[in-house]
Amino acid sequence: MEREVLLNNGVKIPVIGLGVYKVTDPGEIEVAVESALEAGYRAFDTAQMYRNEQMLGQSLKNAGIPREEIFLTSKVDLGNMGYQKTLDTFQESLEKLQTDYLDLFLIHWPGQDKERVLETWKAMEELYQKKRIRALGLSNFNPRHLEWVLESASVKPVLNQVEHHLQFQNTQLALWCQERGIRMQAWSPLMRGNLTQPQLLALAKKYGKTPAQIVLRWDLQNGYLVIPKSVHRERIFENIDIFDVELEPEDMALLNSLHTGQRISHDPEVFDF
């Protein structure tokens, strides 16, 4: 299994990155970043909404890792959408992250206003043309929201970051995106740590891996990119130690059958602010 894959615009992305949602303590983020870099992570997923871009930028700077070795993702907040606000808050994100470009910039949620999405995308396309962003993407977009962008975009989205885990498997959406060359990236891949399904525990035992490692490996084998979050050094190492195991087809099928439809967060079909 490759540790990096190509996006539809030729940019390479690591298949696993560190998520930092809800991490707001500078000490915690410092330890998480140091541990992640040591464990081999090169991708970091933040968002304007997480209010930790500054801390992440400082921790990466403290770590002394060359900028070009890092794949940095952020997302425009729902409240910051629209043409001018996107341009302005993108610049703020860059300053907080102490960088002059992002590898990936996403629209965090589509909301229900098509024009607001298109104005935001237009600003992102401009930033892409000016080489301030290496790849443009979306998050929490269903096919009808994706159509809004695809109908008029001059730069195609490279991926869609969506809720996807054992309980809520976004299989139809994944097929839809796959047919259009748009990669899927799973958020909350660990179901926020709620990994108690007996079938999962049995598979962990069978493969000599932890439940977290099994679900992350299951995602990779299903073609998803993953961004598990942890602030604990040992878990950060554990979550990336998934390249020496291969789940058999019947075990993949078993995990694929555990979908219950229960979401952790908002339904993009109705969510707005």
Ligand X SMILES: NC(=O)c1ccc[n+]([C@@H]2O[C@H](COP(=O)([O-])OP(=O)(O)OC[C@H]3O[C@@H](n4cnc5c(N)ncnc54)[C@H](OP(=O)(O)O)[C@@H]3O)[C@@H](O)[C@H]2O)c1
Task: Return the DSSP state at 262.
Answer: -
Pick the piece of the chain touching ligand X (CB under 6 A) from 34-42, 56-64, 130-138, 189-197: 189-197
Q: Which of 27, 79, 181, 193 binds ligand X (CB under 6 A)?
A: 193
Angle at 189 between CA 171 and CA 31, to 5 degrees: 155
The nearer residue to ligand X, 81 or 231, going by C-beta atoms, is: 231
Residue number of the CB closest to ligand X reads 19
Smallest CA-to-CA distance from 162 within 176, 179, 152 is with 176
E-strand stretches of 46-181:
71-76, 102-107, 133-139, 159-163
Task: Return the DSSP state at 268.
Answer: T
Nearest distance from C-beta of residue 7 to ligand X, angstroms:
17
Pick the piece of the chain touching ligand X (CB under 6 A) from 61-69, 116-124, 222-230, 255-263: 222-230
Smallest CA-to-CA distance from 85 within 132, 50, 120 is with 120
Pick the piece of the chain touching ligand X (CB under 6 A) from 4-12, 88-96, 228-236, 250-258: 228-236
Tokens found for residue 130: 């000016």
Nearest distance from C-beta of residue 47 to ligand X, angstroms:
7
By CB under 6 A, residue 187 contacts ligand X: yes
By CB under 6 A, residue 93 contacts ligand X: no
Tokens found for residue 257: 């059958």
Q: Sign of dihedral through CA atoms 122, 127, 130, 131?
A: negative
The nearer residue to ligand X, 129 or 232, going by C-beta atoms, is: 232
Nearest distance from C-beta of residue 185 to ligand X, angstroms:
8
Burial of residue 44 (CB within 10 Å: 0-12, 13-18, 19+) is buried
Task: Return the DSSP state at 181.
Answer: T
Q: Which of 48, 80, 139, 169 binds ligand X (CB under 6 A)?
A: 139
By CB under 6 A, residue 230 contacts ligand X: yes
The nearer residue to ligand X, 129 or 193, going by C-beta atoms, is: 193
| 50 flagged as catalytic | yes
Pick the piece of the chain touching ligand X (CB under 6 A) from 19-27, 59-67, 78-86, 124-132: 19-27
* Site pattern 53..92 for ligand X (x: CB under 6 A): ----------------------------------------
Count the Cβ atoms, other than its own, within 10 Å of residue 174.
20
* Site pattern 250..269 for ligand X (x: CB under 6 A): --------------------
Task: Return the DSSP state at 229.
Answer: B
Catalytic residue among 50, 83, 101, 207: 50
Rounded distance, CA 94 to CA 56, Å? 11
Reduce the DSSP state of residue 225 to 3 states and report it. Answer: strand
By CB under 6 A, residue 20 contacts ligand X: yes
Residues designated catalytic = 50
